[in-house]
Amino acid sequence: MDISKKQTAILQKFGPYIERFDARSFVYIFLLSLVILVGLYALIQQILEGHVVTGMRDNVVWGLYIVNFIFFIGISYGGAILAGFLHLFKVPWRRPIMRIAVLTAFISALIGPIFIILCIGRFDRLHYLFIHARLQSPIFWDVVAISTYLVGAIIFMYLLMIKDFAIYRDSDVLNLPTWRRNLYRALALNYQGTESQNRQLSVSKNLIALIMIPMVVVVSSVLSWIFGMTLRPGWHSTIFGPYFVLAAIYSGAAVIVIMMWIFRRSYKLEDYLTDKHFAYMGYILLALGAGYGYFTFSEYLTSWFGSEKWDSEVMEKLFNPDEYGWWFLISNVFSIVIPIVVVAFKKLRTPNLITLSALLLVFGMWIKRYLIVVPTLETPLLPIQDTRPEYIHYSATWVEWALSFAGLATFILFFIIMAKLVTIVTVSDYAEKKN
Amino acid sequence: MPLSKIIKLSWLICIIVMGLTPASLKAQDEEEQEQLRTRASLSSVQKNDNVLDLKMLIRAKIDGRYTGLPGLEVMFYATTDSSQVELGKAATNEDGIATLTVKTQEVPKDTANLMAFAAEFEGNDEFKGSDDDIEIYPAELLLQPIDEDSSRALLLTLVGNGDPVEDEDISIFVKRLFAPLKVGEGTTDSAGEVDIDFPMDLPGDGEGNLEIFARLEDHSDYGTVEVHAALPWGTPVAQLNQDLPKALWSPNPPTWMLLAFIVLMTAVWGHYAVIVYKLAQVKKEGNAE
């Protein structure tokens, strides 16, 4: 197929990054693999000893694993819905961001559900969820929703890559080994750039973008309903559905900003990921941050003012500096105040500061997920006499931390590997504009 | 004496002396002391139809607390002035209680109709033996349910050694999942009778049955006396299920939920199917090119 001059220039720019693994990549991969290996050792300990090696007990039955699950799956939903909107509305500045957005959606969707499996005491019985499925159970809804979503995320990512695969296959600029060319040939599905093929692909991409947006809203809401439909203080809330959807898009957008900054810096992509791209993503963060702040205020104001007995106990824990007070404050400052302030003032609206605020935002959102899960479980509805303190107060063990960092390392590792297989900027998009 | 003999003799003396050191003597003492002292406590429960449960609790002080000892064999006897009849043996359960059920008419009695029982744990490598004995008169509680339009009650009659027993506290209970639930109590009159009201709103099994029992607790002459009855005086739990059709344990999901699930899944997977079909078209056209 024909490759334009602009596309050739992009391939020449990205050639060194995707043709081979350089020494720096190997060092990163080695270090990340070490972290993953420690996680695997922790996993073996957990399989051999059981969940007693974690901090989870009879009362606090969810801990870091569920926190990480919500965190990663939220990032994935955010990446997918942003990519869906950017594609569907043909946003002019989307081209260098789309690939990062769909990769974020795909990789996070692979890692998030693994934490569910880690949290299940007997994950060898995971298939029971399907063979003994009960449609009435929100847990079953979530399993079906995530499985369906994962398939959608893979299709979405693949559809946005087919044209690029054809370009890599036919490019003379790239010096690729035979197996790579064969791989791209197979993945390109004999795409030759004919009018009919373009039409088929275009319809497919519109269809998947169209379905991903409502699907993300539904699956994110389903996740929130696992909490919202439980009669527990801090969870039983009617706004948990939209609250989770917004938080997911917010954290996903922040991770996209961070990945944009990393690739801009390491691949020297200042011509592609310009300051304007960061500013536009900053505006999205600002709007989402304001909405997220509003939901947060509304959620805690009603609980606090209502002073219902059990709600008050959780509120007390969240506001008390001796319990979760500082973390609650940090979470809200990092995830609401700082991103809004940074983007609102023109002088602060630089790629570096927007990325820094996005980084703090992501950290704040992780804390927020912890504050949703743990304090509620530490507030049992039934008074328990003579119970051991560790059954009421959750404290994550090294096993949980090791597996959490292994999850983060896997996310980065997969991004490094994917960035070696495909260009981080969608090459084919530039030809479309020219035409 | 040659030097080698002196050395050998010295070694022998050393070994003998070391074998008799206070440390080794102490170790022997510890072995003997490891056999813990036990406490035995024999009690009885007289039930309907002349059934009598003999219960022997065996405990030992472990880590500063008296703890029931499981898996120990206890021998039960009926004794008279002149003889001792072996009734049988039973092992202690996880709470340390061994229970033997006997028929009171088969138990030898003295001229005053007094029944005497003894139970003995002989001891083993870990625990020293212990025993206990009790003397009780035959007694029974008679239960008559009174079911009226707006109230329910139990008429209980306590008979001890053939005579009504006056001024004794009787309690009534309902069996629940863990401990029995006390639902009423009263004191017997001169005819040995007591009328105790029964609550109307207790949840029962699927058909509303309740397992009810009345008890005279640990009497000096009669031991514990109980009478059991199953009465349909509860609220059927099945009715509670009907009030919660969306509950996880209900057999089928609500129809609207099933329909919503099918519609959503069909919509999403339908889109996927169309896309896969279109990709197949892309490949086919590429082959043609």
**Cβ separation B246–A197 shorter than 8 A:** no
* Chain B residues within an 8 Å CB radius of A204: 274-275, 278-279
Say if A111 falls within a structural domain: yes
pLDDT tens, residue order, chain A (435 aa): 788 888 898 999 888 888 888 888 899 999 999 999 999 999 999 999 999 999 998 889 999 999 999 999 999 999 999 999 999 999 989 999 999 999 999 999 999 999 999 998 887 888 888 888 888 888 888 889 999 999 999 999 999 999 999 999 998 888 888 999 999 999 999 999 899 999 999 999 999 999 999 999 999 999 999 999 888 999 999 999 999 999 999 999 999 999 999 999 999 999 999 999 999 999 999 999 999 999 999 999 999 999 888 899 999 999 999 999 999 999 999 999 999 999 999 999 999 999 999 999 999 999 999 999 999 999 988 766 667 777 788 999 999 999 999 999 999 999 999 999 999 999 988 864 444
- Nearest-neighbour CA in chain B from A161: distance (Å): 13
- Nearest-neighbour CA in chain B from A286: distance (Å): 31
Give the whole-angstrom CA distance, residue A389 versus residue A58: 11
Say if A180 falls within a structural domain: yes
Say if A435 falls within a structural domain: no
- Nearest-neighbour CA in chain A from B259: distance (Å): 11
Say if A434 falls within a structural domain: no
Interface test with B, best of A189, A207, A226, A230 (most B CBs within 10 A): A189
**Cβ separation A190–B286 shorter than 8 A:** yes
Closest C-alpha to A234, from A379, A71, A65, A396: A379
Q: Is residue B19 scored above 80 in pLDDT?
A: no
Say if A58 falls within a structural domain: yes
CATH number reported for the structural domain that contains residue A419 in this entry: 1.20.1630.10
Say if A393 falls within a structural domain: yes
Q: What is the ipTM of this complex?
A: 0.89
Say if A119 falls within a structural domain: yes
pLDDT in tens, B196-252: 999 988 888 888 899 999 999 999 999 999 999 999 998 887 655 555 555 666 777
Tell whether B178 lies on the interface with A, counting CB pairs under 8 A: no
Tell whether B264 lies on the interface with A, counting CB pairs under 8 A: yes
Position B54 confidence tier, pLDDT thresholds 50, 70, 90: very high
Tell whether B273 lies on the interface with A, counting CB pairs under 8 A: no
Instruction: Say which amino acid occupies A257.
Output: V
Say if A401 falls within a structural domain: yes
CATH 3.30.565.10 fits B139-235, yes or no: no
Interface test with B, best of A129, A211, A222 (most B CBs within 10 A): A211
Residue A209 structural domain: 5-429
Interface of B with A in 211-250 (CB under 8 A): 246-248, 250
Same fold, B38-136 and B139-235: yes
pLDDT number for residue B64? 85
pLDDT number for residue A52? 93
Count of domains forming chain A: 1
Question: Angle of helix A309-319 relative to helix A325-332, nearest 10 degrees?
Answer: 80
Nearest CA in chain B to A193: B286
**Cβ separation A208–B271 shorter than 8 A:** yes
Q: Closest partner residue to A134 among B248, B269, B285, by Cβ?
A: B248
Annotated domain spans of chain B:
38-136, 139-235
**Cβ separation A200–B285 shorter than 8 A:** yes
Just give the CATH number of B38-136: 2.60.40.730
Position B25 confidence tier, pLDDT thresholds 50, 70, 90: very low
Position B29 confidence tier, pLDDT thresholds 50, 70, 90: low
**Cβ separation A189–B282 shorter than 8 A:** yes
pLDDT in tens, B96-105: 999 999 998 8
Residue B52 bridge partners (DSSP): B46, B102
* Chain B residues within an 8 Å CB radius of A208: 271, 275
- Nearest-neighbour CA in chain A from B270: distance (Å): 10
Q: Closest partner residue to A197 among B258, B268, B285, by Cβ?
A: B285
**Cβ separation B268–A215 shorter than 8 A:** yes
